[in-house]
Homo-oligomer: A and B are copies of this chain.
Amino acid sequence: MDDDPTPTETSATDRDAACFEAGIKFGSLYHQFAGTPVSPASADSLARAMEDAIENQPACERVDVEMREDRLREAIAGSSADYVEFTGRFADVEIAIEHEGIAVLARMALEDGYPRMRIDSVREEGTPVDDEGSG
């Protein structure tokens, strides 16, 4: 019925699960490494460890961590120490997930001073389910 006010509750699709997996990787990466002492000199080894660690997780095809050394240097310049604690503002991150033929690409980057995580694209492999071009 057109005026049915009842919400539709469904099980998770493969696409839902792929997006969920992408989220897990971002939450894991962020909260595993938040607080790690980091300086321009140690930024590279931390980035590699973050990539390699999270790539171990299921459905994770690729993790790219680009340390923002500009922001590291700026934060250290305003501090009494010569390192800072890692947090999201110090890296741009891209993660590629592949789950049951669904590829999800997601990113973390600073927006309005807050490290925002977003899905960039979702790609469903093979012939599209509803054959969109055939209609």
Contacts and interface: CB of A to CB of B under 8 A. Distances in A.
Interface of A: 1-12, 15-17, 19-39, 41-42, 45-46, 48-58, 79-83, 85, 87, 103-104, 106, 112-114, 117-135
A133 B125 CA distance: 26
Nearest to A10: B122
A55 B58 CA distance: 25
Contacts of A104: 16
Given A20-B20, A129-B8, A56 B34 contact: no
A8 B42 CA distance: 33
A3 B103 contact: no
Nearest to A35: B34
Which of A53, A126, A132 has its CB near the most chain B CB atoms (within 10 A)? A53
